Structure 1
Amino acid sequence: MHGPVSSGWLLVALCAATGAYCLLRMRSSVEEQRRAAGGEALMGFGMAAMAVPATAFTPPSWAWPAYAVVFGAAGLHALWTARAGARHLHHLVGAGAMVYMAVAMAASPGHGHGGSGMPLLTGILLLYFTGYVLVTGVRLVPGPAGHAVAAAGGPGGWGDRPELARACRLSMGMAMVAMLLTM
């Protein structure tokens, strides 16, 4: 992505750490949490790879189309799983945003949008992810004592902590906003 080098490395660290935690969440005893964690790990590591500053590593020309294919497939999977519930639609929007950014980067590597202003789709995605970050952040505000443990069905392992899963989703949402702003 185009932007300051220090911000790029911070995004890389944030997204890679989030992807690593999502891999840990894949050990959950709850099948739905394992499935969601797998998609979120892919998103975290994909965002980390996209956020590597261009001054440190310039991806080969085939990398951006490869990102588009991988996240296009992830979007199709999210669309398929959305039949079970609307909560999977967020993964579809996230995968679509990754495809959009990969296509934009392939079309104009190193040049952003050429000063033509913010494209409509970028603005729509920014509004969506900003709203998502605000709603997810509010959901992280602590409730009555013991509420989170009771909601989780008792104390569980690292993969069964809903507040940590929400924190990961929040950090990926914030990273998506930062990445969209640099386009």
Structure 2
Amino acid sequence: MHGPASPGWLLVALCGLTGAYCVLRMRSTVAEQRRSAGAEALMGFGMAAMAVPAAVFTPPAWTWPVYAGVFGVVGLRALWAALRDAHHAHHAVGALAMVYMAVSMTVAAAQGAAGQGHAHGGGSAGLPLVTGSFLLYFTGYVLVSGSRLLPVAGVAGGPVGAVGWGDRPELARVCRVSMGIAMVAMLMPM
């Protein structure tokens, strides 16, 4: 989050492209792909916006509470969906991590305005135990999900070449792993 320029732009590109692919997945003929694609697209675009280097654009102070509110709603929706399908629990954790980072940025901006610290990546506004818990979760998620990136059969048993881009489960997994990696990279400076 608002760290050095080069890694920041790489995170913006990774998360933005992941979000764009998730938008393509929203056009899938497979209901399960459509259900999770919207939340993943929002997460990708939100992470891309958070990763823009502060040297290029420093968002106004009201931006961070808005992020916290939006991802708080997304997290509540994911928790509700997790009652039916456990896969959505991961979305809830991701949204909670986004809320945590947005609240931390709100605190850092307030401390920076009061002359008590550095806003936008200069100081740590996060709580070490919470940050460490999120880091452990997302690192474990990346390692476990990454190990599952073996080619899979096409949807409904059809050949992989005949499946549309939105229906490729292995590409959806790659997107989830890349967003998990990006989440680890964004949590590290906290």
TM-score by length of 1: 0.91
Superposed, 1:56-95 pairs within 5 Å as 56-95=56-95
- Which range moves more in the overlay, 26-35 or 129-138? 26-35
The answer for unaligned runs of 5 or more in structure 2 is 110-118
- In the alignment, what sits opposite 2:188? 181
Q: Tell whether the 8 Å contact from 1:152 to 1:160 is kept in structure 2 after alignment.
A: no
Cα 1:151/1:4, change in 2 over 3 Å? same
Query: Following the alignment from structure 1 to structure 2, what is the Cα–Cα distance between the partners of residues 161 and 84?
Result: 23
Quote the offset at 1:117 in angstroms: 8.9
Q: Secondary structure of 1:108's match? A: helix
- Deviation by residue 1:65-95 (Cα, 9 ceiling, x = unmatched): 0000000000011011011121110000000
Q: Tell whether the 8 Å contact from 1:22 to 1:37 is kept in structure 2 after alignment.
A: yes
- Deviation by residue 1:21-59 (Cα, 9 ceiling, x = unmatched): 000000111122101000000000000000001110000
Matching residue's letter, 1:134: L
Q: Tell whether the 8 Å contact from 1:20 to 1:41 is kept in structure 2 after alignment.
A: yes
Query: Following the alignment from structure 1 to structure 2, what is the Cα–Cα distance between the partners of residues 152 and 52?
Result: 39
Query: Following the alignment from structure 2 to structure 1, what is the Cα–Cα distance between the partners of residues 156 and 98?
Result: 31
Query: Following the alignment from structure 1 to structure 2, what is the Cα–Cα distance between the partners of residues 59 and 138?
Result: 37
Q: Secondary structure of 2:83's match? A: helix
Query: Following the alignment from structure 1 to structure 2, what is the Cα–Cα distance between the partners of residues 140 and 77?
Result: 28
- Deviation by residue 1:122-166 (Cα, 9 ceiling, x = unmatched): 000000000000011100034xxxxx1256521310111000000
Cα 1:116/1:21, change in 2 over 3 Å? closer
Q: Tell whether the 8 Å contact from 2:79 to 2:88 is kept in structure 1 after alignment.
A: yes
Query: Following the alignment from structure 2 to structure 1, what is the Cα–Cα distance between the partners of residues 91 and 185?
Result: 18
Cα 1:100/1:116, change in 2 over 3 Å? closer
- Which range moves more in the overlay, 48-57 or 154-163? 154-163
| RMSD across aligned positions (CA) | 1.8
- In the alignment, what sits opposite 2:102? 102
- Count of equivalent residues: 178
- In the alignment, what sits opposite 2:12? 12
Q: Tell whether the 8 Å contact from 2:24 to 2:166 is kept in structure 1 after alignment.
A: yes
TM-score by length of 2: 0.88
- Deviation by residue 1:2-24 (Cα, 9 ceiling, x = unmatched): 42110000000000000000000
Cα 1:7/1:114, change in 2 over 3 Å? closer
Q: Does 1:166 align with 2:170?
A: no
The answer for unaligned runs of 5 or more in structure 1 is 143-147
Structure with more contact order per residue of length (Cα contacts < 8 Å, sep ≥ 6):
1
Quote the offset at 1:116 in angstroms: 8.4
Q: Tell whether the 8 Å contact from 1:9 to 1:52 is kept in structure 2 after alignment.
A: yes
Q: Tell whether the 8 Å contact from 1:2 to 1:53 is kept in structure 2 after alignment.
A: yes
- In the alignment, what sits opposite 1:145? none
Cα 1:64/1:28, change in 2 over 3 Å? same
Cα 1:149/1:33, change in 2 over 3 Å? same
